[in-house]
Amino acid sequence: MADDLPHVLILGPPTVFKSYEKQFSEKFHFLKPWESSIPLHQFLSTHAGSVRAALCSAAHPVTSDILKNLPELRFIMTSSVGTDHIDLHECRKLGVKVANAGSLFSDDVADMAVGLLIDVLRKISAADRFVKAGLWQQNVVYPLGHKLGGKQVGIVGMGRIGFDVAKRLHSLGCIISYTSRNKKPHIKFPFCLNVQELAAKCDILVICCALTNQTHHMIDKNVMKALGKNGIIVNIARGAIINEKDLLDCLQNGEIAGAGLDVFEQEPNVPEEFFELDNVVMTPHHAVLTEESTRNIYELVVGNLDAFFSNQPLMNEVVKV
């Protein structure tokens, strides 16, 4: 019976849960607040005594209020790499372990970053719309794009994903430099002390860093103006790292040339002004999601939940208690 299985609270729900709900449900009894007619805080109070583990996605914040409503909670598994949606300070205080996806998505995210960049440079999505609108048949002249090779690319955040992006673009003939919290001794690409300095020497910025108080709105109008009128920004990290209002202003006024965006400040609510811009390519926060990565994260989530309930070591533990 389901009630005999370990209880796991779902906050989200993550895409991996939607894709593998049947398989998950054979091993765990999932509590799904979105299926309940009662408010979330009441739902949490009702199940507070039985919830020792929770699964969440980056789209659902795990606040101190939620944590305080779950006194028996001892483990949170997030299906994302980022943990900015979880109050880690409160988790440490309350003795709640946290684990994330680690480097599981790095290849997929790096591929998407390169794909977005090539799309913006070569105007692939805009060209698709051009052909489907019948404009090619009318002999309308389509504007030229730009080649990728030889471009100066700045990587903002040289972690695993940033390094994977850098390797791919370097192999395609781009000239790489980077900024990060610290200079990486094992990275041979030139290091810049801050994002302003990086933007001033680059044609392209690829945002790969974590969202923190220090990086919130770090990519603002000053950075965009330093990047220049031919500059392109690609963001596969977190939406709030870019000041979206500044980005729109700069795109609309020709102060930068284009953007490839997988993430936004208020997802899934994307500012409609972006829809009118042919020099912007957007995807619905899917850089991490492929058939292969979803299967891999399913196996990681199941493995970590099994480990937690059997008191075994966790994989990709972010908060240890």
Catalytic residues: 238, 267, 285
User: If you write DSSP's letter for every residue of 243-269 in order, what string do you get?
Assistant: -HHHHHHHHHTTSS-EEEES--TTTT-
Question: What beta strand segments (E) does the chain contain?
Answer: 7-11, 29-31, 53-56, 75-78, 97-99, 152-156, 175-179, 204-207, 232-235, 258-261, 280-282, 317-319
What the block records as the tokens of 191 is: 């290091």
Residue 285 Ramachandran class (φ > 0 left, ψ -120 to 50 alpha, else beta): left
The CA distances from residue 156 to 101, 144, 164, 225, in Å, are: 21, 28, 12, 16
Q: What is the rounded CA–CA span in Å between residue 288 and residue 306?
A: 24
Give 32's contacts (C-beta < 8 A, 6+ positions apart). 10, 13
Residue 255, amino acid: E
What the block records as the tokens of 31 is: 């509590």
Q: How far is CA 22 from the centre of its chain?
A: 26
Strands 317-319 and 97-99: antiparallel
CA nearest to 221, candidates 197, 247, 201, 202: 247
Q: What is the rounded CA–CA span in Å between residue 217 and residue 243?
A: 5
